[in-house]
Chains A and B, each alone.
Chain A
Amino acid sequence: MLKYVARRLSIMVGIVFVISIGSFYLLHLLPGDPASVILGLGNTPAARAALYHQLGLDKPVYDQYFIWIGHILSGHLGDSFISHTSIASTIRAALPIDLELIGLSQVLAFGVAIPMAMRSARKPDGALDRLLGAGSFTLLSIPPFIIIVLLVLLFSIKWGIPNTGPASYVSFTTDWIANLESLALPAFTLAIGSFVVYYRVLRSDLISTLQEEFITMARSKGLSQRRIMWIHAFRPSSVALCGTAGVNIGGLLAGGFVVQYLLQIPGLGYTLIAAINTSDYLLVQDIVLVVSVGVVLINFFFDFTVNLIDPRISRE
Chain B
Amino acid sequence: MSEIAGAELLFEDPVKRDRLGPLFWICLGWLGLNVFGAIFANVLPLHDPLYGDFNTINAHPSLHHLFGTDDLGRDIFSRVVYGSRISIAVGTGAMVIGFGVGAPLGMLAAYRRGRFDSILTAFMYILLAFPAIVAVIAVLSFWTPRSMFKIIIVIGLASIPLVYRVIRTATMAVATKDYIVAAKVQGATDRRILMKELLPNIAPIGISFLLIGIATVVTLEGALAFLGLSVNPPTPSWGNMINEARTVLAQNPWLVFFPSLALCLFLLCLNFIGDRLRSHFDVTEAKL
Question: Could you tell me the distance between the alpha carbons of A281 and B144 in the complex, rounded to whole angstroms?
Answer: 12
Residues B129 and A141 in contact, CB atoms below 8 Å apart: no
Residue of B nearest to A201 (CB): B285
Question: Could you tell me the distance between the alpha carbons of A253 and B130 in the complex, rounded to whole angstroms?
Answer: 12
Is A19's beta carbon under 8 Å from chain B?
A: yes
Residues A288 and B271 in contact, CB atoms below 8 Å apart: no
Decide yes or no: A272 and B1 within 8 Å by CB, A29-B143, A140-B271 being known contacts: no
Distance of A219 from chain B, by nearest CB (Å): 14
Distance of A268 from chain B, by nearest CB (Å): 10
Decide yes or no: A261 and B226 within 8 Å by CB, A253-B131, A253-B134 being known contacts: yes
Distance of B140 from chain A, by nearest CB (Å): 9
Residues B260 and A150 in contact, CB atoms below 8 Å apart: yes
Residue of B nearest to A251 (CB): B133
Residues B138 and A288 in contact, CB atoms below 8 Å apart: yes
What is the interface of chain B, defined by CB distance below 8 A to chain A?
1, 126, 129-135, 137-139, 141-144, 215, 219-220, 222-223, 226-229, 239, 242, 245-246, 249-250, 253, 256, 260, 263-264, 267-268, 271-272, 275, 285
Q: Which of B134, B142, B219 contacts A143 (CB 8 A)?
A: B219
Residues B226 and A18 in contact, CB atoms below 8 Å apart: no
Residue of B nearest to A247 (CB): B128
Distance of A288 from chain B, by nearest CB (Å): 4
Residues of A113-151 whose CB lies within 8 A of B? 124-125, 137-138, 140-146, 149-150
Residue-wise, chain A 292-313 has the 8 Å CB interface mask toward B (1 for contact) of: 1001100100000000000000
Question: Could you tell me the distance between the alpha carbons of A251 and B1 in the complex, rounded to whole angstroms?
Answer: 33
Question: Could you tell me the distance between the alpha carbons of A285 and B129 in the complex, rounded to whole angstroms?
Answer: 18
Q: Which of A141, A149, A204, A261 contacts B249 (CB 8 A)?
A: A149
What is the interface of chain A, defined by CB distance below 8 A to chain B?
11, 14-15, 18-19, 22-23, 26-27, 29-31, 124-125, 137-138, 140-146, 149-150, 152-153, 157, 204, 207, 211, 249-251, 253-255, 257-258, 261-262, 272-273, 276-277, 281, 284-285, 288, 291-292, 295-296, 299
Residue of A nearest to B265 (CB): A141
Q: Which of A22, A149, A253, A273 contacts B133 (CB 8 A)?
A: A253
Question: Could you tell me the distance between the alpha carbons of A138 and B141 in the complex, rounded to whole angstroms?
Answer: 32
Question: Could you tell me the distance between the alpha carbons of A250 and B132 in the complex, rounded to whole angstroms?
Answer: 7
Residues of B within 8 A of A19 (CB): 130
Residues B249 and A157 in contact, CB atoms below 8 Å apart: yes
Residues of B within 8 A of A292 (CB): 130-131, 134-135
Decide yes or no: A284 and B141 within 8 Å by CB, A22-B130, A254-B223, A276-B229 being known contacts: yes
Residues A296 and B227 in contact, CB atoms below 8 Å apart: no
Residues A23 and B246 in contact, CB atoms below 8 Å apart: no
Q: Which of B1, B139, B142, B227 contacts A258 (CB 8 A)?
A: B227
Residues B268 and A141 in contact, CB atoms below 8 Å apart: yes
Residues A273 and B242 in contact, CB atoms below 8 Å apart: no
Residues B256 and A145 in contact, CB atoms below 8 Å apart: no
Q: Which of B215, B227, B268 contacts A273 (CB 8 A)?
A: B227
Residues of B within 8 A of A291 (CB): 131, 134
Residues B129 and A23 in contact, CB atoms below 8 Å apart: no
Residues of B within 8 A of A157 (CB): 249-250
Question: Could you tell me the distance between the alpha carbons of A30 and B144 in the complex, rounded to whole angstroms?
Answer: 7
Decide yes or no: A257 and B129 within 8 Å by CB, A30-B142, A149-B260 being known contacts: no
Residues B242 and A146 in contact, CB atoms below 8 Å apart: yes
Question: Could you tell me the distance between the alpha carbons of A249 and B129 in the complex, rounded to whole angstroms?
Answer: 11
Residues of B within 8 A of A143 (CB): 219, 222-223, 263-264, 267
Decide yes or no: A272 and B126 within 8 Å by CB, A250-B132, A257-B227, A262-B246 being known contacts: no
- Identify which of A143, A251, A273 gathers the most chain B CB atoms within 10 Å of its CB: A143
Residues of B within 8 A of A299 (CB): 129
Residues of A within 8 A of B142 (CB): 26-27, 29-30, 281, 284
Question: Could you tell me the distance between the alpha carbons of A152 and B256 in the complex, rounded to whole angstroms?
Answer: 12
Residue of B nearest to A29 (CB): B142
Distance of B117 from chain A, by nearest CB (Å): 18
Question: Could you tell me the distance between the alpha carbons of A253 and B223 in the complex, rounded to whole angstroms?
Answer: 11
Residues of B within 8 A of A138 (CB): 268
Residues of A within 8 A of B222 (CB): 143, 145
Residues B126 and A15 in contact, CB atoms below 8 Å apart: yes
Question: Could you tell me the distance between the alpha carbons of A290 and B269 in the complex, rounded to whole angstroms?
Answer: 37
Residues A141 and B267 in contact, CB atoms below 8 Å apart: yes
Residues of A within 8 A of B139 (CB): 26, 29
Q: Which of B223, B245, B246 contacts A144 (CB 8 A)?
A: B223
Residues A124 and B271 in contact, CB atoms below 8 Å apart: no
Residues of A within 8 A of B141 (CB): 276, 284
25 contacts between A and B (CB under 8 A): A11-B126, A15-B130, A22-B135, A125-B1, A141-B264, A141-B267, A142-B264, A149-B246, A152-B246, A211-B1, A251-B133, A257-B137, A257-B227, A258-B223, A262-B226, A273-B227, A281-B142, A284-B142, A285-B138, A288-B134, A288-B135, A288-B138, A292-B134, A292-B135, A296-B129
Distance of A251 from chain B, by nearest CB (Å): 7
Residues of B within 8 A of A141 (CB): 215, 264, 267-268, 271
Residues of B within 8 A of A153 (CB): 249, 253, 256
- The 7 A-B residue pairs whose C-beta atoms are closest, nearest first, are A141-B268, A141-B267, A276-B141, A295-B131, A29-B142, A254-B133, A288-B138
Distance of A250 from chain B, by nearest CB (Å): 4
Distance of A143 from chain B, by nearest CB (Å): 5
